[in-house]
């Protein structure tokens, strides 16, 4: 500790210390005199200040600071579309963790962030656990055994959702939407190309050259992402006459509503992924969702004898696991039909 005399004849007492990151910091206090009694008083005040500063850094501030560091780490690892979801969760944590102290955190604190009835609860809890484990690896927290107490609430058992549509089911869906031209055309393209909904909504007319369609971007929550989901997602595929006719009708439709931009879907009738999903809810026979048409496309190709490797490349999968799952499911359904025929067979 050392002192400086101020302009108004008082004395500033200064003490240096290192914060938790090893950076030099200082605290000061100004008193009337520089006697031994005042020096002792200044020493006690400065030590108390340092203790409080270090407590803030190691406990309260460290939690939120760690959260920001975790966010930067994830930004380097994840796609922009995934980070949109992460940022939403992180903002929620920041609001509720303002006064949390690392050495006092219990499982109930973390669970208090989420509502059991909210969507994507499994995903959010998984992200939070990942964050705490990351903190542990960085030595920001000593004990994470409390994570064992965090169990994702069990979901009510729902009827098993279809992995893909049969050809007859797809025909019925198309017949249902025949008077809703935009929805009808979107389903036609999805079922005949296997595009993800974000890839479809991001398409420009210039992406179609002859019979070759280039997939090189995606749309997520109305935000255009320059690159698709994965490296393998960036691809070129050949399309059939059904798709070409659908694009032709879309171009004609856009001329009618005087939409002169190169974009096909953005800005047309406020069509986005959410509105498309709302359109699909009108069909009551089967629970429809955009990805169902992607799997339907894969199943139709497999039925035609196309290899799972070729189907995976067309869908932009980094490996064949998902395609293999569809293949196994499809062969099981075929076997079920065959078994039924054999059971009912009369000679």
Q: Tell me the mean pLDDT in the region 171-200.
A: 95
- Phi, psi (rounded to 5 degrees) for 296: -65, -40
pLDDT > 60? residue 56: no
CA torsion, ordered 257, 259, 265, 269, to nearest 10 deg: -40
Beta carbons of 192 and 293 less than 8 angstroms apart: no
pLDDT at residue 244, rounded to an integer? 96
Residue 59 neighbours by CB under 8 Å, 6+ apart: 101, 102, 103
- Kindly state the helix (H) or strand (E) to which residue 123 belongs, with its residue range: helix 121-137
pLDDT attached to residue 103:
65
14-28: average pLDDT: 82
**Tens digit of each residue's pLDDT (9 = 90 or more) over 141-181:** 778 888 888 877 665 545 557 888 999 999 999 999 999 99
Gyration radius (Cα) of the chain, Å: 30
- DSSP state string for 196-229: -HHHHHT-BGGGEETTEEEE--EEETTEEESS-S
| Residue 267: band (very low, low, confident or very high) from pLDDT cuts 50, 70, 90 | low
Q: Tell me the whole-structure pTM to 2 decimals.
A: 0.60
Task: Please write the tens of the pLDDT for every residue from 36-53.
Answer: 999 999 999 998 888 777
pLDDT band at 347 (very low <50, low <70, confident <90, very high): low
Burial of 262 (0-12, 13-18, 19+ CB in 10 A): exposed
Q: How confident is the model at residue 10 (pLDDT cuts 50, 70, 90)?
A: very high
Nearest CA to 314 among 192, 205, 227? 192
Mean pLDDT within 225-229: 58
**Alpha-carbon gap, residue 180 to 194, rounded angstroms:** 21
Predicted pLDDT of residue 261? 65
In this predicted structure, the answer to whether residue 60 has a pLDDT above a threshold of 50 is no
- C-alpha 175/C-alpha 167 separation (Å) is 12
């Amino acid at each position: 500790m050392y002192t400086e005399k101020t302009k108004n004849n008082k004395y500033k007492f200064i003490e240096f210390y290192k914060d938790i990151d090893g950076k030099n910091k200082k605290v000061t206090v100004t008193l009337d005199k520089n006697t031994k009694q005042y020096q002792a008083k200044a020493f006690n005040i400065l030590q108390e200040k340092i203790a409080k500063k270090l407590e803030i850094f190691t406990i309260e501030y460290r939690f939120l600071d760690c959260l920001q560091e975790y966010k930067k780490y994830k930004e380097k690892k994840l796609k922009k579309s995934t980070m949109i979801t992460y940022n939403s969760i992180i903002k929620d944590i920041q609001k509720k963790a303002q006064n949390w102290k690392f050495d006092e955190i219990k499982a109930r604190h973390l669970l208090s962030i989420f509502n059991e009835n909210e969507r994507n609860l499994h995903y959010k809890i998984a992200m939070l656990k990942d964050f705490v484990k990351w903190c542990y690896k960085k030595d920001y927290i000593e004990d994470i055994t409390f994570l064992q107490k965090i169990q994702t609430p069990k979901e009510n058992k729902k009827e098993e959702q279809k992995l893909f549509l049969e050809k007859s089911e797809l025909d019925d869906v198309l017949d249902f939407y025949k008077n809703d031209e935009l929805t009808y055309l979107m389903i036609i393209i999805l079922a005949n190309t296997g595009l993800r909904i974000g890839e479809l909504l991001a398409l420009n007319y210039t992406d179609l050259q002859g019979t070759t369609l280039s997939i090189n971007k995606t749309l997520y929550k109305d935000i255009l992402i320059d690159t698709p989901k994965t490296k393998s997602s960036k691809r070129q595929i050949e399309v059939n006459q059904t798709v070409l006719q659908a694009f032709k009708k879309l171009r004609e439709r856009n001329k009618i509503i005087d939409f002169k931009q190169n974009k096909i879907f953005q800005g047309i009738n406020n069509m986005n992924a959410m509105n498309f999903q709302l359109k699909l809810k009108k069909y009551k026979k089967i629970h429809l969702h955009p990805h169902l048409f992607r799997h339907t496309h894969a199943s139709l190709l497999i039925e035609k004898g196309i290899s799972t490797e070729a189907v995976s490349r067309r869908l932009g999968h980094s490996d064949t696991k998902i395609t293999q799952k569809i293949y196994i499911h499809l062969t099981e359904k075929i076997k079920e039909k065959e078994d039924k025929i054999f059971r009912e067979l009369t000679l």
